[in-house]
Amino acid sequence: MASGRLTRPRFRSASITEEERMTEIDTSHEQCLVDSLRARDESAFAELVDQHTPMMLRVARGYVASAEVAEDVVQETWIAVLQGIDGFEGRSTLRTWLFRILVNIAKKRGVRDRHDVDAALAAYAGSAAVDPSRFLPASSPEDPHHWATPPTSWPETPEGSVLGAEVLDVAGRELEHLPDRQRIVVALRDVLGYDAEEVSAMLSITPANQRVLLHRGRAHVRQALEDYLGTGA
C-alpha cells in the first residue's frame, strides 16, 4: 500500500467582514437595477425616481432661478438617464452618474456663470465660519489658537432626548437658510451620506471648495443649535 502524507484542506484565513458583505449586496442590487432599467422596467425606474427626486430638486434649485425651472431640469435629467442607461459603464456608482447628468443640465439652464460662483466662494472664504473670540489668542501660553469655548456635547439626559425632534427641526430650518452651495453640500454629505469624492464629482467642484462649503455650512448649523440650546458662548 502506497504511503503518503495527509494534507489539510485550505480555508480562507479570514471571513468576509460585515462592511464587505453590505458592499457586495449594494453592488448586486445596483447591477440588478441597471439591468432592469436597460430592459425598460417601469417599476425599476419608479424606484429610482422616488429615491432621488427630492434631492435632485434641491441640487437643481442651487443652479437655476426658480422651483419651476428646477422641476424642468429634473425631468430632463430623467429623460437623459433613460436615453443613456445603455451606455452606462459602471465606472462610478449609478447615483453619482445620475447627479453628474443633473448638474450638467442644471448648469446649462442656470442663471449663474462660473464667475458668480467663484465670487460667492471667495465671499464665504473671506468671513470667519466660527466667532474668533471662541479661540485662544496666538499669545496664549497654552494651546494658542485652540478652543477657548469648545462646542458643547449633546446632553445625555431624558430632557435631551425629548429635545431630539425639536433639534432636528431647528437643524432643518437652518439648513434651508444656508447659501445654495453650502446647503447642497451639507445635505449631500450629512443628510444623504455621500462621500467627499462623490459630492465633488456631482457638483464639479474641487475637493478644496467642497471642504470649505461643508465646513462653513456645518459651522452655521452648529452655531444655531448651540444658540437654541443655550450652550453658545
Higher pLDDT, 149 or 89: 89
Q: Do 63 and 106 contact (CB within 8 A), yes or no?
A: yes
| Same structural domain, 89 and 131 | no
Q: Do 199 and 188 contact (CB within 8 A), yes or no?
A: yes
Measured CA to CA in angstroms, residue 17 lies from 14, 30, 185, 188 at distances of 9, 20, 30, 27
Q: What is the CATH number of the domain that holds 52?
A: 1.10.1740.10
Q: Which of 109, 127, 148 is the last residue of a domain?
A: 109
Measured CA to CA in angstroms, residue 178 lies from 29, 75, 124, 190, 192 at distances of 35, 25, 11, 14, 17
Asked, for residue 73, whether it belongs to a domain, the answer is yes
| Same structural domain, 76 and 134 | no
Whole-number pLDDT of residue 191: 73
Q: Which of 79, 109, 139 is the last residue of a domain?
A: 109
Which residue range forms the structural domain that includes residue 141? Answer: 116-232
**Dist CA 181 CA 209 (whole Å):** 10
pLDDT(114) > 50: no
| Same structural domain, 100 and 186 | no
Measured CA to CA in angstroms, residue 36 lies from 84, 87, 89 at distances of 14, 14, 15
Whole-number pLDDT of residue 119: 52
Whole-number pLDDT of residue 144: 66
pLDDT(154) > 60: no
pLDDT(200) > 70: yes
Whole-number pLDDT of residue 189: 83
Nearest to 118 by CA among 218, 196, 190, 213: 213
Whole-number pLDDT of residue 117: 45
Highest-confidence segment of 146-155, 181-190, 222-231: 181-190
Higher pLDDT, 48 or 126: 48
Whole-number pLDDT of residue 16: 59
The number of domains in the chain is 2
Q: Which of 83, 109, 135 is the last residue of a domain?
A: 109
| Same structural domain, 132 and 192 | yes
| Same structural domain, 27 and 105 | yes
| Same structural domain, 130 and 201 | yes
CA 106-67-50 angle, to 5 degrees, is: 80
Tell me the three cell numbers of residue 101: 447628468
pLDDT band at 75 (very low <50, low <70, confident <90, very high): very high
| Same structural domain, 179 and 86 | no
* 3-state percent helix, strand, coil for the chain, nearest multiple of 5: 65, 0, 35
Q: Where are the alpha helices (DSSP H) in 62-178?
A: 67-84, 94-109, 114-125, 158-162, 164-177
Asked, for residue 67, whether it belongs to a domain, the answer is yes
Higher pLDDT, 199 or 28: 199
**Dist CA 179 CA 102 (whole Å):** 19
Measured CA to CA in angstroms, residue 159 lies from 79, 99, 103, 150 at distances of 49, 40, 42, 22
Asked, for residue 155, whether it belongs to a domain, the answer is yes
Question: What's the N-to-C CA distance of the chain in angstroms?
Answer: 87
